Amino acid sequence: MPVTQAREISAARRLDNVRYAIRDLASVASEVTAQGHAILPLNIGDPISFDFATPRHLIEAVYNAMKDGHNGYAPSPGVSEALEAIRGEAARKSITTVQDVFVTNGVSESVDACLTALVNPGENILTPCPDYPMYSAVLAKLGIDLNTYFLNEDDGWQPDLIDIQRKITSRTRGIVLINPNNPTGSVCSRRMLEQMAELARRHSLIIFADEIYDKLILDDDRHVSMAAVAPDVPVVTFGGLSKNYLAPGWRIGWSIVSGEAAAVKPYIEGIHRLLRARLCANHPEQYAIKAALEGPQDHLLEVRQKLRSRRDVTVKWCNSTPRVSCVAPRGAFYAYPRLEIPEGDDIFVKELCRQKHVLAVHGSGFGQKPGTRHFRIVFLPDEATLTKAYAAIGEFMQERYK
């Protein structure tokens, strides 16, 4: 009889700091649903789970691509018509120094590839606090210590330039800017972008501009792309179909690399080594990129109208509820209310789910200034659902923090 090996196979220690707060609450939600309760979901930014639908012409483009036999491997950077459409989108965003574009399996793969191709052990990249946890998860996987800069809640969640300047070291390689921001819904002013670009110039940094929500501006503002403000600065602009075009499950994202050609050439070559190693992004879905970027944009009017109304309901509730306050979001579909409570926001969201069956995400899962507490609301549900959820949260707070 062969001897069985009982020694435990442990996971790599560098994974100890990999966290993804949005999905890490799933166990609590499963516990509640197992008891027969329906969850009111304010936690996941998936429009398709609510009253939003992928535009028909995108679905037809993918269907036709499948029928036409585009079901094998694609070129590693992406299919030519998709790359041309992305270059056209860059031009519409006034990005004039495009050096490369490529398609990935969602923006998540773009983030992973672009950070992996840049940072060496002992170096760091500045990430916002609060931030979308994908960035910190990738850096943790790479064994890179976090170097976070604060967003200023008293200034509409704009980046704190003084804090950024203080955090830049000789080992800093780049800055992540999420604009519009997840989780706060803030939108950067042109002046802020210009000042951040000047910091990048002065310290020879690359900027990762996550602009996945750039068409979901809720007021009369116009989104300004970082790469348009700073054509000479190395910038990687992230975009995709998930949010603007309501197709998160297709996992189609892209990157636009801009700046001076000589400065970014070696970096681009490194990225493409990684792209070739993973073969390609989803093939037939790439044929929706041209349809999305060059086809009808009618759905965006309805999406923005719904989100604007739901944002207003959310902010009104936040600012009329004791112990809650909120900077009004100006883009995307997230709000990041501040809590004045005597316990951790992680305890708050878990007990809220268990007692009132409303699922939100704790602010400490995204990052926040020491001594503050927040939670993230996804205001994608319809107004009736939001009103019901907010009434339940208010009741929970009144009972718990009398």
Name 347's Cβ contacts closer than 8 Å, sequence gap at least 6.
none
Distances (CA, A) of 130 to 216, 231, 334, 367: 20, 27, 13, 4
pLDDT over 90 at 366, yes or no? yes
Domain with 279 in it: 70-294
> How high is the pLDDT of residue 3?
61
Residues 321 and 212 placed together within one structural domain of the fold: no
- Quote the number of domains for the chain: 2
Q: Quote the CA–CA distance of 359 and 50 in Å, as a whole number.
A: 15
Residues 179 and 310 placed together within one structural domain of the fold: no
Q: Which of 274, 294, 314 delimits the end of a domain?
A: 294
Name 69's Cβ contacts closer than 8 Å, sequence gap at least 6.
none
Q: Percent of the chain at pLDDT above 90?
A: 89
Considering only 21-30, 112-121, 228-237, 374-383, which range has the smallest mean pLDDT? 21-30
> How high is the pLDDT of residue 26?
77
> How high is the pLDDT of residue 8?
80
Contact predicate 346/362, CB 8 Å:
yes
> How high is the pLDDT of residue 158?
97
Residues 47 and 76 placed together within one structural domain of the fold: no
Residues 278 and 305 placed together within one structural domain of the fold: no
Residues 239 and 128 placed together within one structural domain of the fold: yes
- pLDDT 10s digits, 56-104: 999 999 999 999 999 999 999 999 999 999 999 999 999 999 999 999 9
Q: Quote the CA–CA distance of 32 and 249 in Å, as a whole number.
A: 26
Q: Which of 294, 322, 340 delimits the end of a domain?
A: 294
Position 13 confidence tier, pLDDT thresholds 50, 70, 90: confident
> How high is the pLDDT of residue 156?
96
Average pLDDT over residues 201-209: 98
Return the DSSP state at 217.
Answer: B
Residue 223 maps to which CATH number? 3.40.640.10
Contact predicate 393/352, CB 8 Å:
yes
In a domain, 130, yes or no: yes
- pLDDT 10s digits, 276-327: 999 999 999 999 999 999 999 999 999 999 999 999 999 999 999 999 999 9
Q: Which of 269, 294, 319 delimits the end of a domain?
A: 294
Would residue 118 be called left, alpha or beta, if left means φ above 0 and alpha means ψ between -120 and 50 degrees? alpha
- pLDDT 10s digits, 102-134: 999 999 999 999 999 999 999 999 999 999 999
